[in-house]
Amino acid sequence: MSEVTLSHVEKVYPDGYHAVRDFNLKIEDKQFVVFVGPSGCGKSTTLRMIAGLEDISSGELRIGDQRVNDVPPKNRDIAMVFQNYALYPHMTVYENMAFGLKLRGLPKAEVDKKVKDAAEFLGLQSMLERRPAALSGGQRQRVAVGRAVVRDPKCFLFDEPLSNLDARLRVQMRAEIKKLQARLGATTIYVTHDQEEAMTLGDRVVVMKDGVVQQIGAPLDIYRKPVNRFVAGFLGTPPMNFIAGRIAIADGGVWFDEGSFRLRLPPPQQSIAGGTSVVAGIRAHAFKLTSDAAAGFAAAAEVVEPLGEAVDVTFTAGNAGDLVARLPAESQVQPRDVMRLTVEPERIH
């Protein structure tokens, strides 16, 4: 079993910087967990503590049933893939992949079999004699992954492994990593600042900010029920719209009142007084066009960006500016049009 458990883990760097605070997480065997958050939020520090490349200031780290706080990296049975690949330039692809196994004194035939199996799976068979300089970025990343795979570790750690690749290749490698993880069935921890990568890869996502875990959950659960405004704004494209206003109690219901327009809210879970200042969060996908002049609110289209199946329309409404609605391409909205938009109460955060 290769569960990874962090209990009250903290990191204070020697200069006094408190990079990670009270980090608690239990990663089940075979699970794919993604740490996501803006640059500097402490993702890599946490990953490096798990790898043993950084000391843990306080708290406990367990891999399987062993406390590993003081176990050196090479004895933790984990393999890490870095953003910069960290390949040896003077070695061939084969040698790069075989190096760690040879160091551990594995018999030559066994090394050969492991390297060739991994190369086949990763589509590197024809490149085994090349040096890294003669490979594309995507191929180098595959070699780095291959080097981790041959070690057959309890746990894989990935630190922004796709950051140096172009957009198309990132999407392709993302799918490959997901397939690879499913096939290997190894516990995996993956760090990225890219929310889309986090949403598509993770069984579970850990959203971090300023060294503090904000929310842990399945990607869709977090997307549907973000616990705070930071998480709501961080996950999802386009980012969630935020509109300032007040609560109004009228016509037998509870409303979000922007001042110039109002939107009906679902029945509140706790009592809330009329006049309370609130911020409504609405995803771009939640806006619907209506032809009913009595429904919804007036929105002035400013910028229309075609995306193929859909268009992103930037609009203003009342005092709220630069809101974005994702509408079907057939809606034919033009800049300067005044549209009427509605939102189902349940889709207002």
- Residues at the interface with ligand ADP (CB under 6 A): 13, 15, 17, 19, 37, 39-45
Give the integer Cα–Cα distance in Å for 292 and 342: 10
AA identity, residue 23: F
Please give the structure tokens belonging to residue 19.
Answer: 């990079």
Give the integer Cα–Cα distance in Å for 62 and 223: 29
Instruction: Provide the residue count of the chain.
Output: 349
- Whichever of 21 and 347 has its CB closer to ligand ADP, that residue is 21
Instruction: Report the nearest approach of ligand ADP to the CB of residue 9 (Å).
Output: 13
Element (H, E) at 138: helix 137-149
- Tokens 């993956």 sit on residue: 190
- Tokens 């043993």 sit on residue: 52
Which residue(s) pair with 50 in the sheet?
none
Q: How much of the chain is helix, strand and coil, in % rounded to 5?
A: 30, 35, 35
Instruction: Report the nearest approach of ligand ADP to the CB of residue 201 (Å).
Output: 17
Instruction: Report the nearest approach of ligand ADP to the CB of residue 17 (Å).
Output: 4
| Contact between residue 326 and residue 309 where contact means Cβ atoms under 8 Å apart | no
Instruction: Report the nearest approach of ligand ADP to the CB of residue 4 (Å).
Output: 17
- Whichever of 45 and 187 has its CB closer to ligand ADP, that residue is 45
- Whichever of 29 and 210 has its CB closer to ligand ADP, that residue is 210
Apex 187 CA angle, 184 and 188, nearest 5: 95
- Whichever of 16 and 105 has its CB closer to ligand ADP, that residue is 16
Element (H, E) at 191: strand 187-192
- Whichever of 97 and 216 has its CB closer to ligand ADP, that residue is 216
Give the integer Cα–Cα distance in Å for 269 and 148: 49
Instruction: Report the nearest approach of ligand ADP to the CB of residue 86 (Å).
Output: 16
- Whichever of 37 and 281 has its CB closer to ligand ADP, that residue is 37
Instruction: Report the nearest approach of ligand ADP to the CB of residue 228 (Å).
Output: 18
- Tokens 């705070």 sit on residue: 228
- Whichever of 42 and 138 has its CB closer to ligand ADP, that residue is 42
Instruction: Report the nearest approach of ligand ADP to the CB of residue 167 (Å).
Output: 20
